[in-house]
Amino acid sequence: SERLKGKVAVVSAAAQGIGRATALRFAEEGCKVFAIDLNYEKLSELSTVQGITIRKVDVLNKEDIQNLLAEVDVIDILFNCVGYVHQGTILDCDEAVWDKSFDLNVKGAFLMNQAFLPKMIERKRGSIVNMASVVSSIMGAKARFAYGASKGAVIAMTKSLSVDYVECGIRVNSVCPGTVETPSWHDRVNEHQDPVQARVDFIKRQKMGRLGTSEEIANLVLFLASDESSYTTGQNFIADGGMSM
Ligand code: NAD
């Protein structure tokens, strides 16, 4: 244990789902974690966890990011986990939906990476993990038009960053979950006319016959964040219950 002993991490979307599970997993492994989210009330549930500092940060708000930056002296690990799933085809996608998808899935990670990279360059070390999805450049899924397009951009951004900063000792990788049971996944199920059928259909996409857990994704992020993956950069890692096999 203590696989992240002495390290400092920033984890976004940490109030619930995969981000929260990852913040907890990092803390368990001896990491000092800045857990950030828009939803401060939900985030507060982590306030008593040893090793975790909570901060209300909107990853699209530059002032919020600057305030966080001023507080985080050194950073070893940045996990950009914020994302938004629009359920719909191109014909369901107006410009507002397109912009929201690219803002939350791509621009948030762009702003956070841009803000924190100089601190990593200074110390010639760092591991960045960007949250993509198997529904991206890996595979198409029904009614995931803006989502898939924007998550594909996350994979491309990851590769681009990895090439530019490999000589600075910074590793950049992305992760692609399949369907993971999180609060927003439950919301997506309930958006359907027949939620019972929607649940069955979601599980059917997973060849393992079950949904993934946030902890299963957190374990992959932990590996990429830690020195165990020290020879790995510019890669995309899939944990999808066989969805894309
Ligand atoms: P979630 O969607 O349930 O929660 C997201 C969290 O992000 C919330 O706490 C929300 O308050 C926060 N957030 C939203 N906008 C924010 C902003 N501007 N600044 C800061 N925080 C903000 O969590 P999840 O389902 O675990 O998804 C996390 C990531 O994993 C997303 O990028 C998602 O696309 C990706 N992902 C999820 C699944 C899945 O099946 N759940 C599959 C593949 C990829």
Q: pLDDT of 121-165, one tens digit each?
A: 999 999 999 999 999 999 999 999 999 999 999 999 999 999 999
Could you tell me if the CB of 81 is within 6 A of ligand 1?
Answer: yes
User: How confident is the model at residue 134, as a pLDDT?
Assistant: 98
Instruction: Please give the average per-residue pLDDT across 10-37, as a whole number.
Output: 98
Catalytic residue check, 147 = yes
Tens digits of per-residue pLDDT, 200-243? Answer: 999 999 999 999 999 999 999 999 999 999 999 999 999 999 99
Question: How far is the centre of ligand 1, averaged over its atoms, from the C-alpha of 193 (Å)?
Answer: 23
13 CA to centre of ligand 1 in angstroms: 6
pLDDT at residue 117 tops 90: yes
pLDDT 10s digits, 66-85: 999 999 999 999 999 999 99
Distance 112 CA to ligand 1 centre (A): 15
Q: Contact 156/137 with Cβ under 8 angstroms?
A: yes
Per cent of the chain over pLDDT 70 is 100
Looking from the CA of residue 147, the nearest atom of ligand 1 is 34
Band of the pLDDT at 166, cuts 50, 70, 90? Answer: very high
Regarding the beta carbon of 65 and ligand 1, being less than 6 Å apart is answered no
Q: Where are the domains of the chain?
A: 8-179+215-239
Question: What CATH number should be reported for the domain whose range is 8-179+215-239?
Answer: 3.40.50.720
What are the DSSP calls for 82-110, one per residue? ------B-GGG--HHHHHHHHIIIIIHHH
205 neighbors 188 (Cβ within 8 angstroms): no
Quote the pLDDT of residue 1. Answer: 74
